[in-house]
Amino acid sequence: MSITAVCPGSFDPITNGHLDVIERGANRLDRLVVLCSRNPGKQPMLDAPERLELVETCTAHLPNVEVASFDGLLVEWCNARGIDLAVKGLRAVSDFEAEMQMAQMNAHLGGVETLFITTRPVYSYLSSSLVKEIARFGGDISDFVPPVVARRLADR
Ligand code: PNS
């Protein structure tokens, strides 16, 4: 049986923590689609095409990873493609409540189950929000994002 999963997120921007979860998920699946989605609770810094382009560039070395973008309900995107598994990263207990709520809602709404991968401890304090804040104040983000992302944020 071939297993395909979706890895949804805002990816504003993609970080080394995201990439770690994507790589470890992809290593254990036949196919993983990274889906650049919209989180209605967040105002993105990068527009959708730019987030998609950066995710594509940063995952180009992973042969069983595809990238797509969608502005709508995750379960609609999944159901339209026959995908019933989502892969998400869990950093800390603080992530758990919201992630469990989304997982249960996605299971209820569209039969999409969620598989959580715990982040490696080295990335447990990393977030796109902190990366953007550090970059805005001119700080060094090179330990936290791929070079192409660091350059893009520095250009802004
Ligand atoms: O990287 P994020 O911001 O934590 O990702 C959250 C995201 C984009 C995966 C979530 O907001 C989402 O699934 N958005 C799509 C709209 C949707 O399906 N909302 C209902 C979730 S139960």
Active site residues: 18, 42, 91, 128
So where are the chain's domains? Answer: 4-125
- The candidate with the shortest Cα–Cα distance to 59, out of 13, 122, 2, 124, is 13
Going by alpha carbons, the residue nearest to atom 21 of ligand 1 is 102
Contact 51, 18 (CB under 8 A): no
State the fold for domain 4-125.
Rossmann fold (3.40.50)
Residue owning the nearest CA to atom 12 of ligand 1: 39
Does 73 contact ligand 1 (Cβ within 6 A)? yes
Inter-residue contact 66 to 56 (CB < 8 Å): no
pLDDT tens column, 121-132: 999 999 999 999
39 lines ligand 1 (CB under 6 A): yes
Instruction: Give residue 94's pLDDT band: very low, low, confident or very high (50, 70, 90).
Output: confident
Per the prediction, the chain carries an average pLDDT of: 97
Nearest CA to 144 among 15, 14, 18? 15
- Report the pLDDT averaged over residues 40-57: 96
**Contact (CB, 8 A) for 13 and 39:** no
Q: Tell me: pLDDT of 1 over 90.
A: no
CA angle, corner 102, sides to 100 and 107, nearest 5? 95
